Structure 1
């Protein structure tokens, strides 16, 4: 039984790594919108069997980056840059609402969790690894969703957060974005702890909208490099 669990955990880690690699290739244009992702070629490229690869493709489909078509395979979703920016605009509105409600409804458990999460973000920002910071950042936002005490709003926000994961991860690699992001986190937490709903909403909206702007800059730098 222990061996089966270990094998399953190993397979999940392989699938997660494959997903992250494929996410980066899709977001940066290595794979073009509408392009078919050939399973055998990808398996050969990464030196894996098709099982973790198919799991990775299923995760990408859940995130809205690919579509899985019966008997045809996986295809990259055709999202324009404008459509991506529009999703960031909606994300900003939803997160702002979560921040405003969290400022009004924060209980002691969520207060402690938020402060601890901010310290974890501080640690990861100091380390300077954007991917490690991304995971701490994701947990930080999840605490705010929960603290809003609105299950439907939290569900909708998490769904869009999942769809934007690769883009939010990627924009953290641009310039000094990690340090700037953490400074924004500090202002967000200060507003929520103070019970200032208006400031919390504004800070969270601007925090996410900046992500869209930074993403635009990142894509522009890729195009220039190419």
Structure 2
């Protein structure tokens, strides 16, 4: 019984540490290529190095960290070519989710998506990326959730997390928030119409539009409210 309790306690601790460290990574706490100090992290979370090491291994398997033998744990650095590959896969997954959802979307789900679009429109008028960005993430995640395929949702979410590591340049370019939300509305219209092909195409092209913006030279853009923060707004 004692061994079982210790296992549960350690497992719970590891789960909490994993969530906390992952949140720090995705928030930009560490720079690409930066070495993570296990001792500092252990002190920060008031734990021993063992759980920290275990969590780092788990996050390395998810593609967020990189383990270098005899050197330590480093933030994974994602280059433009790798980011482009992630976009291509993400486009396919998002398109599949939109197609699935078009076959069974409910009025309540359409209403929820349209409410998010209206709130994003207000953020556009305010030129506020800080307001727009979390709503954008919620919009995409809602489509994946509503599609009802857990494996697809999980795979898509992991790709989004990896793309958070791509911080080499601003991704909000070539049309910015306005273009992104116009594309969102095309997706929702196709879903409302129950048009599987149109929903799939609109979702696929939306993500590829984000990929195209990524390849523009830094600073390119012609939309008001464009920010220099490296955030993916597709």
Q: CA deviation at 1:190?
A: 0.9
Runs of 4+ aligned residues of structure 1 deviating over 6 Å after TM superposition are 12-15
Aligned positions of 1:36-185 closer than 5 A:
36-37=34-35, 39=37, 50-51=44-45, 64-68=63-67, 72-167=71-166, 171-174=170-173, 176-185=175-184
2:204 is aligned to 205
* Matched positions, count: 193
Distance (whole Å) between structure 1 residues aligned to residue 209 and residue 62 of structure 2: 21
Q: CA deviation at 1:109?
A: 2.9
Q: Is the contact between residue 125 and residue 178 of structure 1 (CA under 8 Å) also seen in structure 2?
A: yes
Where is the helix percentage greater, Structure 1 or Structure 2? 1
Higher Rg = 2
Q: Is the contact between residue 66 and residue 74 of structure 2 (CA under 8 Å) also seen in structure 1?
A: yes
Distance (whole Å) between structure 2 residues aligned to residue 64 and residue 123 of structure 1: 35
Deviations 1:160-206 (Å, cap 9, x if unpaired)? 222223549x6553353111101111111111111111111111111
Q: What is the TM-score normalised by the length of structure 1?
A: 0.69
Q: Which moved more, 1:156-165 or 1:137-146?
A: 156-165
1:20 is aligned to 27
- Over 3 Å counting, the alpha-carbon distance change for 1:84 and 1:184 in structure 2 is same
- Over 3 Å counting, the alpha-carbon distance change for 1:120 and 1:64 in structure 2 is farther
Distance (whole Å) between structure 2 residues aligned to residue 121 and residue 106 of structure 1: 21
SS in structure 2 of the partner of residue 207 of structure 1: helix
Indicate the RMSD between aligned Cα atoms, in angstroms: 3.6
Structure 2 gap ranges (5+): 1-18, 47-51, 220-234
Structure 1 gap ranges (5+): 1-11, 27-34, 44-48
